[in-house]
Structure 1
């Protein structure tokens, strides 16, 4: 019996040397026929050495282990593969590789692990006779060619090339079913997931995802899986209207449980004719767009019903914008959360399921705020100092919920900046008013005349003054006048009517009444009491 021919591959020579010394290869009937330092060299050795078994690092320059095993499978060669890698953070990577490989070992590899895996490989290879291996190779070629052709036909049919329907039926057979339905599955892109994956990791995930979809669909029968860019298309032939939803929910649960991935699935409208699956595919994509508003990692069924924007949505948004402006001006932050919620509900209604419309509406809300408060020198930046344009940041929000969060962040930041600006401006205005009263208390000071000096209407000024001083404006003017009246009464020999005139009262009796109300005595009584206290 001839020895089993083995290739070793790793871009670290020390690993290959270690593997060679780790066990007695000859005693297991294994013969190392070549060593590769990268994926390209490994490919060349496969062609020239005709190996039975490959032990390879999964991540190498040139071609990855995933690229190699795919080439082996596509060529139909009965070569077994064992992967070794440092990628131990992906718990599902082991499962993904085991679809096409004998095993997956994590570095550093010890003697017992390697001997156990190699014994398994030897047993598997010995069990496959030359005749069976040749038969498997021929069958693989036939299945591969048929599978590739069917996938290509489905791609063309879903693109609208209905002339391919007859060829598809010849290749796949005519299913005795009433309906055909196209479903679309796509990984959800969000912070913390696939944005940060390396290329090798992406391939591992796509490989595992493809296999679990095919296993689930093919186990049911009358179904085909094909690729549309980053998406997976699924054609189902069925009789019961509810079958696609039941199967896709089962598939979605398996992906979540076994691969720990978040995936959204859109189920298109069922058709009676295979030639019309382009329409089912188009509606599956429409169903998939619902994830923006409904949330990620769900199964969505296409529905032709549309709520419409509502008659008042646009007008309501204008009214809510004005309320938002006034709420920010009043610095009433407790009113912001429910108001923002109403704005987002109106934006969602107005958008009619369009992500672009939703982003545009939120962007306009923020722009109008910036215009409204331009005089305050405020910009509604979502992140302080962020160089990314606002519109670009809003477009990158993966869901409507995230878009709402970005709006909330922008408004809260504006509220913080505005509070500082308004407080500073109001303190300056208040100081200006007090200085004016202190200088012109003897004149005919009115609420209207003073509010005009700080460019406020009288009603707002009255509220503004009481908010900052705790008393109404009229009482404050009286306080200032009485203070100066008391000074003149005690420090001069002016008559009461003269003091009244000097502090803004043209009626001496009214002045005396006001003085008594403030100090408890009439002016002369107060003066006499004051002098008597000093004589004692």
Structure 2
């Protein structure tokens, strides 16, 4: 706790020395920070000493103690006064106390009376500090409550609630300006650390971004900050149309400079009326969506972008013809195929809508059509629904059109490089695959793993396998595992969890569910049910669940 600062004033040096030595001032939480011999000198050291308590002779050369306390009151200095005097004049004491003196002591100063007076000063200062603290707390609360109210009203305003505009006007926060612009900012979490932000890190960065925005905007008087879900809202009031863009770019650069995180801002159309703020907000979100196509970590102005309507490729369009040309290049030099892919996807880019959902849907339609063309040309099987969902999920996970563009190009290039096997070669290759499964069924043998082992594209591998074996790879692998599980269950004393591990299941529960689905009984029941009829291996049930 800070020490109470004391300034001693008396025209007698002996009195000043006596006051210093009369008691231990530190026991009262006080320190003597200066001395003065008259009122003039006292005022000259007042600013430097900054006392909390003035111990002063009431009769000094140049001014009385009453003059001193009156001047202190007029100046608003929060200084307590303790008067000492050689006179027992009751009128002096009355005047001193009336003007706010803590105590009036008569010389020679009694140590115990001085101690009681100092304790009284400490109590008064503690009460004063508590009142100031309560006042500051109340002021902070009111300030925070007002800020929260403004933020809530702005959030409601951007959703089109007209009464929010009325309340904002009543609060007196809307300035006279030519334009109002709503902007929305978004942190690019997934671009940083491969999307592996911890929750605590997110909270700290989120708090820091809000601080940078509010400390930059509120003191300048250009507008306000608010939140709308995951977005950081900015409400600008300006006279020139371009000002909102300049301010938004300055904020983006500050966040990038101080916090080292990418930040994208979409600026809505400027409007002249508060009631039209919803239009500005809506176009700000559209501008932010357009970052998917235009690039992130930048400011995107709704006035400078166009959002074409989503449309599906016409079979007779240039895209369909480009797809046909591309499929004809299957198996040719990779440079030619890559050039054909780029030509096709650039044409798709020119048609893609500004937002992510439409762009992904359009690009997936192109990729689906591509695999269909390969299938019709005899180079691949038709894309199955489950595989299509997986592809769509991957494509939807990219934050920008460019990233998704590269992924689709890689998928197409990989499919085109896959050689078409002659019928005899297919048969030999399938026999090698079956032998490999019989040897490695205990391992984590996914479609991706085994196709990579045989240097085949996963889609092409699946197509060849189903055509030759008559069932998909997943179902076949399950059949092999169940066959070996049944053998171990009937010819060994191994526990169920041991059998599960031996046939490639990570846990006994998953294995038991699959066994029951395949043979109609749980492994334990099958082993212990001696009177039950033996179940045939040729009755596999639904084996397509793994």
How far did 1:303 drift? Answer: 2.4
Q: Report deviation, 1:378.
A: 5.3
CA pair 194-204 structure 1, distance change in 2 beyond 3 A: farther
What is aligned with 2:168? 168
Alpha-carbon shift at residue 263 of structure 1 (Å)? 1.0
Q: How far 1:357 moved relative to its partner? A: 2.8
The change in CA–CA distance for 1:312 and 1:158 in structure 2 (over 3 A counts) is closer
Shift of 1:327: 1.4
Question: Structure 1 residue 259 and structure 2 residue 287: aligned?
Answer: no
| SS of residue matched to 2:303 | coil
Structure 2 matches for 1:360-399, cutoff 5 A?
360-374=361-375, 375-377=378-380, 389-399=390-400
* 1:316 corresponding residue in structure 2: 318
8 Å CA contact 1:224, 1:236 repeated in 2: yes
Residue 242 of structure 1 corresponds to 242
Measure the CA separation in 1 of the matches of 2:395 and 2:335. 25
Q: Per the alignment, in what secondary structure is the counterpart of residue 220 of structure 1? A: coil
Q: Structure 1 length as normaliser, TM-score?
A: 0.51
Q: Residue 223 in 1 paired to residue 223 in 2?
A: yes
* Aligned 8 A contact 2:324 2:373 in 1: no
1:347 alignment partner in structure 2: 348
Kept after mapping to 1: 8 A contact 2:269/2:280? yes
Name the SS of the counterpart of 1:282 in structure 2.
Answer: helix
Match of 1:277 in 2: 277
**How far off is 1:409 after superposition?**
1.5
The superposition leaves residues 271-323 of structure 1 with CA deviations (integer Å, 9 ceiling, x where unpaired) of 11111111100000011111101111111000276375799974111111111
Displacement after TM superposition at 1:201 (Å): 1.4
Q: Which residue of 2 aligns with 1:401?
A: 402
Maintained 8 Å contact 2:264/2:297? yes
**Corresponding pairs, count:** 300
Match of 1:325 in 2: 327
DSSP-derived class of the 2:227 partner: strand
**Cα deviation digits, residues 128-167 of structure 1 (max 9, x gap):** 9444423321210110110111111111111111122111
8 Å contact 1:271–1:277 — kept in the other structure?
A: yes
Matching residue of 2:292: 292
Tell me how far 1:353 sits from its aligned partner: 1.6
Structure 1 residue 183, shift from structure 2 partner: 0.6
Residues 309 and 278 of structure 1: CA distance in aligned 2, closer, same or farther (over 3 Å): closer
CA distance in 2, matches of 1:307, 1:227: 25
In structure 2, relative to structure 1, the CA distance for the partners of 1:308 and 1:150 (3 Å cut) is closer
Partner of residue 149, structure 1: 149
1:382-531 paired onto structure 2 within 5 Å: 389-416=390-417, 418-419=418-419, 421-422=420-421, 424=422
Give distance in 1, aligned partners of 2:209 and 2:334.
Answer: 47
- The answer (yes or no) to whether the contact 1:151–1:227 under 8 Å persists in 2 is yes
C-alpha distance in 1 between matches for 2:137 and 2:194: 36
Tell me the SS of whatever aligns to 1:235.
Answer: strand
Alpha-carbon displacement from aligned partner over 1:380-428 (angstroms, at most 9, x marks no partner): 89xxx99971111111111110111111110122123x22x25x56999
> Structure 1 residue 347: deviation in Å?
1.4
Q: Where does structure 2 lack aligned partners over 5 or more consecutive residues?
A: 4-28, 30-125, 427-546
Q: Describe the superposition over 1:68-127 as per-residue Cα deviations: whole angstroms up to 9, x where unpaired.
A: xxxxxxxxxxxxxxxxxxxxxxxxxxxxxxxxxxxxxxxxxxxxxxxxxxxxxxxxxx9x
Aligned to 1:265, the other structure's residue is in SS state: strand
**Following the alignment from structure 1 to structure 2, what is the Cα–Cα distance between the partners of residues 227 and 312?**
36
- Determine the structure 2 residue equivalent to 1:182: 182
Query: Quick one: distance in 2 between partners of 1:309 and 1:270?
Result: 23
Q: Matched residues in 1 for 2:309 and 2:229: separation?
A: 33
Classify the secondary structure of the residue corresponding to 1:151.
helix
After superposition, the CA RMSD in angstroms is: 3.3
Contact kept, 8 Å, 1:366 with 1:380, in 2: the verdict is no
Secondary structure at the aligned position of 2:201 is classed as: helix
> How far 1:188 sits from its partner (Å)?
1.6
SS at match of 2:329: helix
Q: What residue ranges of structure 1 are gaps of 5+ in the alignment?
A: 4-28, 30-125, 429-536
Which residue number corresponds to residue 211 of structure 1?
Answer: 211
Distance 1:302 1:413, change over 3 A: same
| Superposition TM-score, scaled by structure 2 size | 0.50
Quote the offset at 1:379 in angstroms.
7.5
Is the Cα–Cα contact under 8 Å of residues 183 and 268 in structure 2 kept in the other structure?
Answer: yes
Report how far residue 356 of structure 1 moved.
Answer: 2.5
Shift of 1:370: 2.2
Question: 1:212, 1:191 → 2: CA distance?
Answer: 21
Counterparts of 1:197 and 1:346 in 2: how far apart (Å)?
36
CA distance in 2, matches of 1:309, 1:319: 22
- Describe the shift of the 1:204–1:379 C-alpha distance in structure 2 as closer, same or farther (beyond 3 A): farther
Return structure 1 stretches of 4+ with deviation > 4 angstroms.
Answer: 307-314, 377-381, 385-388, 424-428
3-state SS of 2:344 partner = helix
Return the alpha-carbon distance in structure 2 between the equivalents of residues 320 and 348 of structure 1: 14
In 2, are the aligned partners of 1:313 and 1:349 still within 8 Å (CA)? no
